[in-house]
Amino acid sequence: MANLASDFIGIKSPNPFWLASAPPTDKKYNVERAFEAGWGGVVWKTLGSEGPPVVNVNGPRYGAIWGADRRLLGLNNIELITDRPLEVNLQEIKEVKRKWKDRALVISLMVPCDEESWKDILHRIEDTEADGVELNFGCPHGMAERGMGSAVGQVPEYIEMVTRWVKKHSRMPCIVKLTPNITNILGPAGAAKAGGADAVSLINTINSITSVNLDDYSPEPMIDGKGTHGGYCGPAVKPIALNMVAEIARSAETRGLPISGIGGVTTWRDAAEFMALGAGNVQVCTAAMTYGFKIVQEMISGLSQYLDDKQIGLSDLVGRAVPNVTDWQYLNLNYVTKAHINQDDCIKCGRCYAACEDTSHQAIAMSPERLFTVKDEECVACNLCVNVCPVDNCITMVPMAKGTVDPRTGRKVGDYANWTTHPNNPSVQAAE
């Protein structure tokens, strides 16, 4: 069984699976249950300044979207940072860390955007012996209205400034948690790096309305007839998170900045994908909130099996796919594939036909006997038929060998060539 021991910016944990700062990590009771179940670390739910704690709504805090059988696909929340007194949290953090020395314990923080506030909270957490801090610049609801959370994370200058304060007043490793509610993730990530952050974690939740009550005409979750946007998370957000992680991992200005991957991690496979795109570890919330802490056992066994099968170590996985993330303009335009339908596997549902005929390139023929075949002379290899086919691997994309003639274009499949040199590219012509 592969060794999953993780060292993320000097913070050691027996595996790379941490629980994200969120309801599951709000108190000692939950965190100890998580450690008992096998989680490698936790980011304690965000602490605020000393004083009366925030209050939460007393109606529903979560909204969701479901697949059939009510499989939860996306969750949104309007919960704020911890609503327990600071002293209680600090005492419990201290107790937990003493008892669970081998696990990572990072404290998430969110205080008003002034140096004194940050200096004060950093001093207060110093003797908890926690392993690091995570700056919550991500929460998109509630706290953002008070100038914190994503209100900071959406302004790179603020990110850099606060990160500097944190590095100035604390020797703890500092992770900056980024909001996806921006136009380009590289700005906030670069700012965190410039401010001296040891790592970034992303994504925090996405601004969202999960559904509308069509009887009361209110967003859900509905509080006394009204709703507000919440933070969206769960399996549905994973593709968005993967892209942002990859952008930071591959861009020149942020390359090498350690990343803690967050966003819809539900299985070992999700975790492996984040790590292959450059995340040093992952943080999980929704999957645990949906299924309980026990899921980490599947993540541990699954990732171990995968690493064993590939005969690589955990650190070998990190960033392994990054060199293959590129810009559209560098994709090989001479890579020609054609859809192929395996007739032995085909169950004759005709979804490929409907999709191609109605919405794409009219490249699938249907016989009276419901035999579905690809018309190579029409197929542009868009992959839609593969995606709508209900049978795994029934339709595949078969690359054409170099030198063969593509019956659609009548041209021979040639060597690698991309848009930057394509005759249709106006900037190429301009350069001539």
Using the rule CB under 8 A, is 349 a contact of another protein?
Answer: yes
Residue 212 within binding range of another protein, rule CB under 8 A: no
Q: State the binding string over 283-322 for another protein (x if CB under 8 A, else -).
A: ----------------------------------------
Q: Is the omega angle on the peptide bond into residue 16 within 30 degrees of 0, that is, cis?
A: no
Does 215 sit near another protein (CB under 8 A)? no
Residue pointed to by tokens 């040891």:
198
Task: State in angstroms the smallest separation of the CB of 68 from another protein.
Answer: 3
Residues with Cβ within 8 Å of 304's Cβ and at least 6 positions away in sequence, in order, are: 1, 2, 4
**CB-nearer residue toward another protein: 152 or 363:** 363
Beta strands in 214-371 (DSSP E): 218-220, 230-233, 259-262, 279-284, 337-341, 364-366
Among 167, 350, 376, 418, binds another protein (CB under 8 A): 350
Task: Report whether 341 contacts 372 (CB < 8 A).
Answer: yes
Task: Report the nearest approach of another protein to the CB of residue 66 (Å).
Answer: 10
**Closest distance to another protein from the beta carbon of 331 (Å):** 31
Does the annotation count 379 as an active-site position?
no
Please state the closest distance from residue 82 (CB atom) to another protein, in A: 36
- CB 374, min distance to another protein, A: 15
- Angle between helical axes of 268-276 and 295-310 (0-180°, round to 10): 50
Q: Which is nearer to another protein, 224 or 369 (CB)?
A: 369
CB of 364 within 8 A of CB of 353?
yes
The CB-of-20 to another protein minimum distance in angstroms stands at 30
Residue 409: which of 353, 361, 348, 372 has the closest Cα? 361
* 353 counts as binding another protein under rule CB under 8 A: yes
Which residue number, 268 or 353, has a Cβ lying nearer to another protein? 353
| 348 binds another protein, rule: CB under 8 A | yes
Using CB under 8 A as the binding rule, the residues of this chain from 358 to 387 that contact another protein are 366, 370
| DSSP calls for 350-391 | -HHHHHHHHHS---EEE-TT--EEE-TTT-----HHHHH-SS
Burial of 331 (0-12, 13-18, 19+ CB in 10 A): exposed
The CA-based diameter of the chain, rounded to the nearest angstrom, is: 77
Nearer to another protein, 86 or 388 (CB): 388
Give the range of 201-209, 322-330, 336-344, 351-359 binding another protein by CB under 8 A. Answer: 351-359
Nearer to another protein among residue 112 and residue 350 (C-beta): 350
Peptide bond into 312 cis (omega under 30): no
Q: Which is nearer to another protein, 70 or 101 (CB)?
A: 70
Residues 377/365, Cβ–Cβ less than 8 Å: no
Q: Report the Cα–Cα distance between both ends of the chain, in Å, rounded.
A: 58
- Least gap, CB of 192 to another protein (angstroms): 43
- The region of 52-60, 289-297, 349-357, 377-385 touching another protein under the rule CB under 8 A is 349-357
57-116 positions binding another protein, by CB under 8 A: 67-70
Closer residue to another protein in complex, CB, 194/354? 354
The answer to whether 240 contacts another protein (rule: CB under 8 A) is no
User: Does residue 252 interact with another protein by CB under 8 A?
Assistant: no
The helix-helix angle for 156-169 and 115-125 (nearest 10°) equals 40
Q: Are 81 and 48 in contact (CB under 8 A)?
A: yes
Catalytic residues: 139
Residues at the contact surface with another protein, assessed by CB under 8 A: 67-70, 347-351, 353-354, 366, 370, 390-391
